[in-house]
Chains A and B, each alone.
Chain A
Amino acid sequence: MSSPSPNGTIDYTALVHDDRIHASLYTDPRIFDDEMERIFRRGWVFVGHDSEIPSAGDFVTRRVGTEPVIMVRGKDGDVSVFVNRCMHRGTMVCPADRGSARTFTCPYHGWTYDISGELLGVPYPGGYAAFDKSAHGLTRAPRLSSYRGFVFASLSPAGISLAEHLGSATRLIDRSCDLSPAGEVELTAGWVKHRCAANWKALPENDSDGYHLGFVHRALFSTVRSQYQRVVGDERAIKAVVRDWGNGHIEIDWSPGYQGPFEWLGGVSGSAVADFVAALERRDGAEVTRRRLLGGPAHALIFPNLFLGETNIAIVEPVSVEECVHWHTPMFLTGVPEFRSRLLRMAEAGMGPASFLMPEDLLVASRNQLGLHARTAVWLELGRGLNRERVDAEGRTVSHVTDETTNRALWRHYRTVMTEA
């Protein structure tokens, strides 16, 4: 059940303006509690991917907001998400990151559940006059839904559907999945988790910020050529754009700046590539395939915690008002095993604590967190690009890649979610 906002006293309309936001949004623990309730319990949150748990009994453990959950494949093949908590005294039932299980047994008093969450047995049942095992199964996430293998949960029984939440942003997920001839991606390489000493919102904001690249990543761009090179030159020559898909879903679209296919994959060639292109052409025809291979996968945030990071998939995990974790794994394309090594090496180059990009992002985020504790100056400016953003034929706001259109879209949705009845 959803409870009322624990801090109904905070006036979010005074903190989130169209072109500026207040620093306390990153530092006030009461606001963090509100977010866990309104965004991460009532809303739809990405939990994991179908391919992570292929067989009955396979599970991964995650957090929905700060709530521990188990995502498990049942005997019927369906995916369930349970609160990772014994119904007896609240002990976390499953401590492993992932694995395969036939039952989950609580270590405290031996209560045992099957993979459909049902309570199988309670030791020493003589201590209860009458005990209804069926009323003590693991608590299920009230709502579960998936799109193309991406599993989302809501911890609230009521609210908009996943389809309503995603809206037209399903096309961003399509854009990534459709690069696979099988129409599926596989997240089977394992996750790297990168700890960040900043509020969780710094990560989605930074992941969709096209303004910082030439500054934060100056070391990389001055050392190696990459597909991002074209967004660090002359402002007028940059063709990439940012786009607002609504409901907090926001995108950086590099593709207007790409000149040839596979720039998103660092350029590839050879017979494996020819086979891959041929497989896509058989499915989609030459023209659609040409566009897919030019544009590549999406670079987009699916609000609030799923980041489609081109050839990577990332998760934003809030920990506390001052700390979060950025997870990532390479996005393998089903049916194209030849790309796996390259995708692994690209993932290691781009994301994670030892990579060539993210350490700088997370360092800046942690410096932001320190600066945002100031109260003599309290506003963050988000007005960049208001002078030139435009609305496209589909009603989406689009602007120059360095514009804060994405930040404003994120915060506009945030204000809606944090103030709605």
Chain B
Amino acid sequence: MISHTEYRAVVEFLHREALLADEARYAEWLALWTDDGVYWVPATTDPAADPDKHLSHIYDNRGRLETRIKLLLTGHRYSQEPASRMRRLVSNIEAAPAENGELVAESNFALAELAIQAKREMHWWVGRTTHRLRRVGGELKMCRKKVVLVNAAEPLPNLSFLI
């Protein structure tokens, strides 16, 4: 169990992260990460997925995360130029203490993306996210984010925004 105050802080963090991703506020989103962050989007819903054996959609360490953001900031990442219009709902949030004073939060999300770069299609993205959060200088940061899409193993359209 965690305290109500702590739970509140987790919820606010998840809402904040969702807002920054929705609004393509890339630098602010990157600032939510610790220096040892790992951002993982498996290409399967199999819980036994292993990023050292199986191909993932995303398996970024800090360096690659920064490259991902730099590309988006060039203005020439055409698959996100202009940025998709997005709003996501984050819900069913469960938070628990983890080792080393960290917190682990699980949540569901539903994201509507208007991919306006070509056909102006609406894409639905739905999945379950696991965040690992750590207090750094009094503020919560993510050191791990894993996103398991319900259709992770199906043909997906461009996923170059922040999920």
Q: Using CB atoms and an 8 Å cutoff, list the residues of chain A in contact with chain B.
A: 97, 188-195, 197, 216, 218-220, 222-224, 325, 328-330, 340-341, 344-345, 347-349, 352-354, 356, 359-360, 362-364, 366-367, 370
Given contacts A191-B55, A222-B76, A363-B118, 16 further A-B contacts (CB under 8 A): A191-B43, A193-B153, A193-B154, A194-B157, A216-B78, A218-B74, A219-B72, A219-B75, A222-B74, A344-B56, A348-B58, A353-B160, A363-B78, A363-B117, A363-B158, A364-B78
Q: Give how many B residues have a beta carbon under 8 Å from the other chain's beta carbons.
A: 38
B4 at the interface (CB under 8 A from A): no
- Checking B51, B118, B158 against A367 with a beta-carbon cut-off of 8 angstroms, the contacting residue is B118
What residues on A are CB-neighbors of B75 within 8 Å? 219
Describe B's contact surface by its main secondary structure.
loop
Contact across chains for B55 and A353 when beta carbons are under 8 A apart: no
Q: Using CB atoms and an 8 Å cutoff, list the residues of chain B in contact with chain A.
A: 41, 43-44, 51-59, 64, 67-68, 70-72, 74-80, 117-119, 121, 153-160, 163
Return the chain B residue nearest A189 by Cβ: B55
Contact across chains for B155 and A194 when beta carbons are under 8 A apart: yes
What residues on A are CB-neighbors of B121 within 8 Å? 197
Contact across chains for A341 and B52 when beta carbons are under 8 A apart: yes
User: Within the complex, what minimum Cβ distance (angstroms) separates A232 from chain B?
Assistant: 12
A-B contact pairs, 30 of them (CB 8 A): A97-B153, A188-B53, A189-B54, A190-B44, A190-B54, A190-B55, A193-B156, A197-B157, A223-B67, A223-B74, A328-B55, A341-B52, A344-B51, A348-B57, A348-B58, A352-B43, A352-B55, A352-B57, A353-B156, A353-B158, A356-B67, A356-B68, A359-B79, A362-B79, A362-B158, A363-B117, A366-B119, A367-B117, A367-B118, A370-B118
What residues on B are CB-neighbors of A193 within 8 Å? 153-156
What residues on B are CB-neighbors of A340 within 8 Å? 52-53
Contact across chains for B71 and A220 when beta carbons are under 8 A apart: yes
Select the residue from A341, A360, A364, A370 with max chain B CB neighbours within 10 A.
A360
Rounded to whole angstroms, the CA-CA distance of A375 and B159 in the bound complex is 32
Rounded to whole angstroms, the CA-CA distance of A329 and B118 in the bound complex is 27
